[in-house]
Structure 1
Amino acid sequence: MDNREGKTALLLMDLQNGIVSRYGDQTEVVEPFQKALSIARENDIPVFFIRVGFSEGYPEVNSRNKIFSAISQSGGMTLSDDSTQIHESVKPQENEAIITKYRFSAFAGSTLEVILRSQGINSLILSGISTSGVVLSTLREAADKDFSLTVLKDACLDADAEVHQVLIEKVFPRQAEVITVEDWANTLNK
C-alpha cells in the first residue's frame, strides 16, 4: 500500500443510521470503524463514505429486485431520510466525500470509480455493514476492476456470524488481504 502517493483510500460502507441502528446502541459495534477512520485521517489516507439510498418515488428500484422492491413498498431509505445519513459516530469531515449507491456494490450507480481513478487511487481498504452485502459485492467488483484490496475483518459486521466468518476466512482471502484494523495500523507505522 503506497499511501504516501495518495494511492490508497478507506471505504466506510453503509455506516448510515438505518443500518447501524439494526445493531442497537452498542458502542462497541462502531469502535473498529471509528479506529479505522482515525488511522486513515492520521495517515492522510482519503476516506470515502458510501451509503445506499433512493430518490423519492424509487425510480431506481425494479420490482424484480427482492430486497430493494421490499424497501420501496415499505417506504424509507430515500436520500433525504434520516436512515440514509452517515451515522454520527463516524461523521465525515468537510473534505471527505459521501457517495450514494443504488445497489449493494459501492460502485453500482455511483461516482466512486470516476473519483478513485481521477485521484489515482488503486488500493482500497474495505470496511462496512454488512459483510455479506456491501463488502462482498464491492470486493468482487473492485477485484474485477483491478484494485488492490484489503479487508478490515474487525471493521466488517454481519447479522449472520457464520456467513461473516466464512466470507472473512475462506472467500475474501482469494481476492484481498484480510487483516485487523490494528494490523493495518502497524503496516502504516513501518
Structure 2
Amino acid sequence: MTKSALLVMDVQQNIVGRVPDPDYVPRVARAVAAARRAGVPVMYVVVGFRAGHPEANPANKTFGALPPGAFTPDDEGAAVHPGVAPEKDEVVVVKKRVSAFAGSDLELLLRSGGIGHLVLAGIATSGVVLSTVRQAADLDFGLTVLSDGCADADPENHRLLTEKIFPRQAEVTTIDDWAASLA
C-alpha cells in the first residue's frame, strides 16, 4: 500500500480571511485530526518570502504586486491559521509560487519519506490546489482532493474543478468520507 500524506496548503491567517465560509477551518481541522489519529503524516505548505520579496518578480501578477512585508517572517498573518496549527514535529514547507512544489523542497521531503499519495486541502481551489494537482500528477503521485477541504473565492470555479477537472487526475471525496476510510 502506498504511504499517504495530508497536505494543508495556504491555510494561512491572511488567506483564510478571504474565505466567507465560517465552517471551513473547522472542517479542515477534522481532516487534520483524522490524519493524525490514523498515523497519516500532516504536512503544511505556506507561501512565504524573504523581507523585500526578492523572489517575487514584478512581472508576476500574483506575487509581484504583494504589499511590502506581506508573507515575510515578520508578517503574523503569514502563519498557519491557529485552528489547524501544526504540531511541533509536523513539517511546514515554504513555497515561492502557486504550486506547493514551486520553489520548495516538498518533492524531496515526500520522496525521502516514501510518500507516494497526496491528500490535498487548501485555499484556493483554483490556485494552490489546481497547480499542485497538475504538478503532482506529472510527478506520478497518487492524488485525493478533499472537495470540502478546498475553498475558492469563486464558487463556480470550485465546482467546475472538483466535479469536472480534478477527477481526471485525482479521487475527489469529502473530508468525512476520507476520514471514515481511514478507520
Same fold by TM-score greater than 0.5:
yes
Q: Which residue of the other structure, out of 97, 108, 113, is the alignment partner of 1:103?
A: 97
Partner SS state of residue 83, structure 2: helix
Amino acid at match of 2:74: S
Kindly report which structure 2 residues correspond to 1:25-64, keeping only aligned pairs within 5 A, or say none. 27-64=22-59
Partner SS state of residue 25, structure 2: helix
Which ranges in structure 2 are unaligned for 5 or more consecutive residues? none
* 1:131 paired residue number: 125
The question of 1:92 aligning with 2:92 is answered no
Q: Deviations over 1:37-95 (max 9, x none)?
A: 00000001000011001111111011110111110x55422133112111100011011
Deviation at 1:19, TM superposition (A): 0.2
The question of 1:180 aligning with 2:174 is answered yes
Distance 1:29 1:186 in 2: 19
Distance 1:128 1:160 in 2: 14
Distance 1:177 1:109 in 2: 26
RMSD: 1.3
* 2:10 paired residue number: 14
Provide the aligned length of Structure 1 versus Structure 2: 183
* 2:116 paired residue number: 122
Q: Deviations over 1:135-172 (max 9, x none)?
A: 00001000000000000001000010000000000000
Distance 1:57 1:75 in 2: 7
Detail structure 1 runs of 4+ shifted over 2 Å in the superposition. Answer: none
Amino acid at match of 2:10: D
Using the size of structure 1 for normalisation, the TM-score is: 0.92
Partner SS state of residue 79, structure 1: coil
Q: Which has the higher helix share?
A: 1
Deviation at 1:36, TM superposition (A): 0.4
* 1:82 paired residue number: 76
Using the size of structure 2 for normalisation, the TM-score is: 0.96
8 Å CA contact 2:52–2:68 kept in 1: the answer is: no
Q: Deviations over 1:7-48 (max 9, x none)?
A: 100000001111012236x64121210110000000010000
**More deviation, 159-168/78-87:** 78-87
Distance 1:42 1:116 in 2: 20
Which ranges in structure 1 are unaligned for 5 or more consecutive residues? none
